[in-house]
Amino acid sequence: MEKIFINTPNSKSEILIGPQWSLVNELLPETGVVILTDDNVLGIYGKQFPVAPVFSVAPGENSKKMSVVEGLALKLLENGIDRSGFILAIGGGVVCDIGGFLASVYMRGIRCGFVSTSLLSQVDASTGGKNGVNLGSAKNMIGTIRQPEFVICDPSMLSTLPDDEFLSGLSELIKTAIIGDKDLFEIIENSRKEILARDIDMLTMLVTQAVNFKSRVVSEDENETGLRRILNFGHTFGHAIELHRGIKHGFAVASGMELAAEFSNEMGLISSSEKERIISILRDFKLLEKQYITEADMEHLIVHDKKKSGSSIHFVLTEGIGKATVKKISVSEILGFYNRFRQKK
């Protein structure tokens, strides 16, 4: 079992990778626990849940809204949960987002922990303390930063994921490699067969490397005022594509990473050969489809991006596989690149 810690000025979060997720019973308080999950996870694992009230939401992004959070808060109140309560979120990125957000605002904050059931959640969403819900068509526009006490990542749970959910998470793993771990990128390049077969040892190693990297970034910059911005590689275009096309997060981010790699190459930051390596690995795992949208639609969505500051956006580029940089680029320049890219396609 791997133990990784995120240490920030106000909190400490422990990420456990590799154990059977039933270990969670040893980490919970004796009273005041409620479980948040979704209907899919409940159907697969519900009989193994710890003994506690269970609140289940519909799977998917449509549950990430304030009305759902309000309904869950009312259920906490009805179940007598006070400031000594504990929310255990068992699920993927959506469930962990909702659970962390609810825990951070209910009675001005109660404790929480996660059992992360999806690859996307294990390598990214459940680590780092970002919790958010959507505001209309604006993704994660209402949110908090609050670390869970623990996150359990049991790679054996990934065997029950549908293929598209698994690949969606793989996209975020590739993102981590591009922005900060060249060795991880090469392992993914050379291990396609083992990854797609969901080899437990391989997945444990990949999740561990991804979490190690993210934990270092978050420990240094919890509130995303500097270094943590690199974790948004592919997300400026990716979020817009996700919202407009209604596709899974990882596939949209893959298209966003293709665009970011092309933009980096156009700006002279990355060689054409490394750009092609990035695009090739995304294509090899069947993460890339033609997801591009009109310039007008892109503009409408980008102006609501959380990373926007005035007329510019903190845009993440790559200076080579394993190295990222953030530049403040005007919205008009970003859209100009996007229009040139679409014309070439």
What is the number of residues in the chain? 345
H-helix segments, the chain: 39-45, 66-78, 93-105, 119-120, 163-180, 182-190, 192-196, 200-220, 235-245, 249-266, 272-284, 295-302, 331-344
Q: Identify the pLDDT of residue 301.
A: 87
Q: Identify the pLDDT of residue 290.
A: 78
User: Which burial class, exposed, middle or buried, applies to 110 when counting CB atoms under 10 A from its CB (0-12, 13-18, 19+)?
Assistant: buried
Q: Identify the pLDDT of residue 38.
A: 98
Fold agreement (2-160, 163-209+222-344): no
User: Which CATH number is associated with domain 2-160?
Assistant: 3.40.50.1970
Apex 165 CA angle, 35 and 235, nearest 5: 95
Query: DSSP 3-state assignment of 47?
Result: helix
User: Which residue bears the tokens 């797609």?
Assistant: 196
| 43: CB partners within 8 A, 6+ apart | none
Question: How many angstroms separate the first and last alpha carbons of the chain?
Answer: 46
**DSSP state letter for 49:** S
Q: How far apart are CA 18 and CA 204, in angstroms?
A: 6
Q: Identify the pLDDT of residue 168.
A: 97
Q: 163-209+222-344: what fold?
A: Dehydroquinate synthase-like, alpha domain (1.20.1090)
| Ranges of each domain in the chain | 2-160, 163-209+222-344
Q: Identify the pLDDT of residue 8.
A: 86
Q: How far apart are CA 153 and CA 202, in angstroms?
A: 14
Q: Identify the pLDDT of residue 9.
A: 85
Q: Identify the pLDDT of residue 285.
A: 97
Q: What is the pTM of this model?
A: 0.93
Q: How far apart are CA 345 and CA 328, in angstroms?
A: 26
> Which residues, given as ranges, of the chain have pLDDT below 70?
306-307, 345
